[in-house]
Amino acid sequence: MAIIQKPGWFYYEKDGERLGEVSYLKAAHNQVLVLNHTYVDPSLRGQNIARQLVDAVCDLARSQGQKVQPDCRYAAALFKRYQEDYADVALEDGPKANSCSI
């Protein structure tokens, strides 16, 4: 699996086709990464690709001493389900966390 990082994005690409992605915005003077969108192609769902993409953002935040605010329903659910895995970077859900489509 190839996860590629671009400013504001991590994405999974296979054979030149983007099949999964997570996007984030920087907030609070670059101290917070706001996860605002997660998508994985239906053919790849259930393979933990979305979690790996979210984890890539969290690893970036850890390496830069930042926090992560889930403003996407998938990320918010992931942070709640695995609180211990994200406790060091997690902030409260953003205002759109319950309305973002998966």
102 pLDDT higher than 50: no
- SS3 call for 92: coil
Enter the tokens of residue 7: 């400013």
pTM of the model: 0.88
- Enumerate domains of the chain plus CATH numbers: 3-86 (3.40.630.30)
In contact, 91 and 67? CB cutoff 8 Å: yes
- Percent of the chain exceeding pLDDT 90 equals 79
Q: What is the pLDDT of residues 14-64, one digit of tens each?
A: 888 999 999 999 998 889 999 999 999 999 989 999 999 999 999 999 999
